[in-house]
Amino acid sequence: MSSEWPLWEVFIRGQHGLHHRHVGSLHAPDAEMAICNARDVYTRRNEGVSIWVVKSSDITASSPSEKGPLFEPSNAKVYRHPTFFEIPSEVGHM
Amino acid sequence: MYAQMVKAEGAKAREEMSEQERAFQDRIDRGEKIEPKDWMPEGYRKTLIRQIGQHAHSEIVGQLPEGNWITRAPTLERKAILLAKVQDEAGHGLYLYSAAETLGVSRDELLAALHGGRMKYSSIFNYPTLTWADIGMVGWLVDGAAIMNQVQLQKTSYGPYSRAMIRICKEESFHQRQGYDILMKMCLQGTPEQKAMAQDAMNRFWYPALMMFGPPDRDSVHSAQSMQWKIKINTNDELRQKFVDQTVPQAEYLGLTIPDPKLKWNDAKGGYDFSEPDWTEFFEVIAGNGPCNTERMEARITAWEDGAWFRKGLMAHARKRDARRAAARLAAE
């Protein structure tokens, strides 16, 4: 059996109140070690207050070839943006 | 430079490209980043694996000449700083290996290629660090040259590589400053012996530092394609010139002499004229015949082999615990 450690994706919350953000990946034998390694690899300069690790093999990603079917439909729905509607200035801030 | 002489496939003219290749080149020309799952020409993938892999190997092997001085740093503070720097180099290697892995090569394959001599690392790390002044010189000149190269690579077309470079550049300027700080102490406040030590280090590291940018453009056969793909942004000679222009005033401040009698400001080109390094020596070092090639590879391979039981052990432990947890979950259902 291969002894190569599995790959983990690392997400870090930079400050309280922000989302966790993907920062990169690393190898580790298990989740606990992945957190330890992520601490050393990605937060040597106070970059975070919280770490998530997820096995890369557990991530399902959309494929670049689906870009059209996935995202184009929303382009046609301009009324989803507030700027689509014109509100008379007499009405005031809305 | 951390990636010297990376073999690239020959550049293609637009007419020779397939429709897919043309669309790919258009994306690059528009400044779009290429991401791991996007279609890419096989040559682009291969060249990037070579370049990012070589870059990663350089970071890891680059720990060795500096690690040499951790136990002998002159003060506790210098020791702590050097430790932090060497730890950063390990981190930089890891960012880069991860970037290479997104191209479909495994970490173990990359390491096996390094240990088997099929992949290279920067020639600079095959020179010894004989005195404490060498550690200053490595930080100032070697990391200075590295930064010069890496700053332009932040704009490279491959997303994961570019992001690794941005991260690395943020951390790297501490490295150069700590080196310069060591030399300021030795040259401006030190004894005549310490100053002589710094000059000796300068004499030994100057030309190897210039070699880091790779062979002159006239001999650099792989540049055209790499630049077309924006894997490389500036040519070797452009970066070398920039490095010399930046470094000369810094050397003057320290009172160090650059070991080049031909070094002279050229008003017309707005830069310094300088002597080229001995390219025969460069090719010898790349071929494995530098002063420390054997020692560096032995240290790498020994570390890898000595750690094998540990890597396996942790993996076995993780598998056992997973199995136990799965069994417990099943029993509870």
Is B98 near chain A, with CB under 8 Å? yes
Rounded to whole angstroms, how far apart are CA atoms A93 and B173?
48
Asked if the model's pLDDT at residue B272 lies above 60, the reply is: yes
Least confident range of A4-13, B76-85, B216-225, B265-274: B216-225
Q: Phi/psi at B69 (nearest 5 deg)? A: -110, 0
pLDDT at position B222 is 72
ipTM of the assembly? Answer: 0.86
Query: Which of the four pLDDT bands, split at 50, 70 and 90, describes residue B8?
Result: low
Q: A61 to each of A57, B33, B36, B86, how far by Cα in Å?
A: 10, 18, 11, 35
Which residues sit opposite B264 in a β-bridge?
Answer: B273
Tracing tokens 């002063």 back to the chain, one arrives at B291
Rounded to whole angstroms, how far apart are CA atoms B109 and B115?
10
Nearest to B1 by CA among B165, B157, B163: B165
A93, two tokens: 């801030």
**Between B35, B95, B171, which is nearest A24 by CB?**
B95
Which residues sit opposite B3 in a β-bridge?
Answer: none
Structural contact between residues B34 and B158, judged by C-beta atoms closer than 8 angstroms = yes
Q: If you count residue pairs, one on A and one on B, with CB atoms under 8 Å apart, how many are there?
A: 51
**Between A7, A25, A33, which is nearest B314 by CB?**
A33
Cα-trace Rg, chain B? 22
Rounded to whole angstroms, how far apart are CA atoms A63 and A51?
26
The identity of residue B127, as a single letter, is Y
Asked if the model's pLDDT at residue B191 lies above 50, the reply is: yes
Is A41 near chain B, with CB under 8 Å? yes
Structural contact between residues A52 and A21, judged by C-beta atoms closer than 8 angstroms = no
Asked if the model's pLDDT at residue B40 lies above 70, the reply is: yes
pLDDT digits over B60-98, tens only? Answer: 999 999 999 999 999 999 999 999 999 999 999 999 999
Which residues does chain A have within 8 Å of residue B107's beta carbon, measured at their own beta carbons?
4, 27
Which residues sit opposite A24 in a β-bridge?
Answer: A10
pLDDT at position B88 is 96
Is A30 near chain B, with CB under 8 Å? yes
- Please give the average per-residue pLDDT across B230-258, as a whole number: 96
Rounded to whole angstroms, how far apart are CA atoms A15 and A4?
33
Tracing tokens 């992945």 back to the chain, one arrives at A34
Query: Which of the four pLDDT bands, split at 50, 70 and 90, describes residue B220?
Result: confident
Rounded to whole angstroms, how far apart are CA atoms B282 and B289?
10
> Model's pTM, two decimal places?
0.92
Asked if the model's pLDDT at residue B145 lies above 70, the reply is: yes
Structural contact between residues B4 and B122, judged by C-beta atoms closer than 8 angstroms = yes
Query: Which of the four pLDDT bands, split at 50, 70 and 90, describes residue B1?
Result: very low
What is the rounded end-to-end Cα distance, in angstroms, of chain B? 58
The H or E element containing residue A42 is helix A31-42
The crossing angle, in degrees rounded to 10, of helices B192-211 and B236-254 is 170
Answer yes or no: do A4 and B98 touch at CB < 8 A: no
Alpha helices by DSSP H, listed for chain B, are 19-29, 42-61, 63-67, 76-101, 107-115, 132-137, 143-153, 159-188, 192-211, 223-228, 236-254, 279-284, 293-306, 308-332
Least confident range of B178-192, B201-215, B217-231, B241-255: B217-231
Asked if the model's pLDDT at residue B162 lies above 50, the reply is: yes
- Say whether A27 sits in a helix, a strand or coil: strand
What is B304-333 written as a DSSP string? HHHTHHHHHHHHHHHHHHHHHHHHHHHHH-
**Between A4, A41, A45, which is nearest B94 by CB?**
A41
Which residues sit opposite B204 in a β-bridge?
Answer: none
What is B42-110 written as a DSSP string? HHHHHHHHHHHHHHHHHHHHTHHHHHTTGGG-SSHHHHHHHHHHHHHHHHHHHHHHHHHHTTT--HHHH
pLDDT at position B301 is 97
pLDDT tens digits in sequence order for chain A, 94 residues long: 567 899 999 999 999 999 999 999 999 999 999 999 999 999 999 889 999 999 999 999 998 888 889 998 888 899 999 999 999 999 999 8
**Between B37, B87, B95, which is nearest A61 by CB?**
B37
- Please give the average per-residue pLDDT across B183-198, as a whole number: 98
Asked if the model's pLDDT at residue B2 lies above 80, the reply is: no
pLDDT digits over B96-126, tens only? Answer: 999 999 999 999 999 999 999 999 999 999 9
pLDDT at position B9 is 60
Answer yes or no: do B314 and A5 touch at CB < 8 A: yes
* Residues near B120 by beta carbon (within 8 Å), at least 6 away in sequence: B4, B5, B54, B57, B286
Nearest CA in chain B to A44: B88
Answer yes or no: do A25 and B312 touch at CB < 8 A: no
Tracing tokens 């700083």 back to the chain, one arrives at B81
Which residues does chain A have within 8 Å of residue B322's beta carbon, measured at their own beta carbons?
30
Structural contact between residues A16 and A63, judged by C-beta atoms closer than 8 angstroms = no
Is A63 near chain B, with CB under 8 Å? yes
Asked if the model's pLDDT at residue B27 lies above 90, the reply is: yes
Rounded to whole angstroms, how far apart are CA atoms B86 and B67?
7
A37, two tokens: 């390694």
Mean pLDDT of chain B: 94
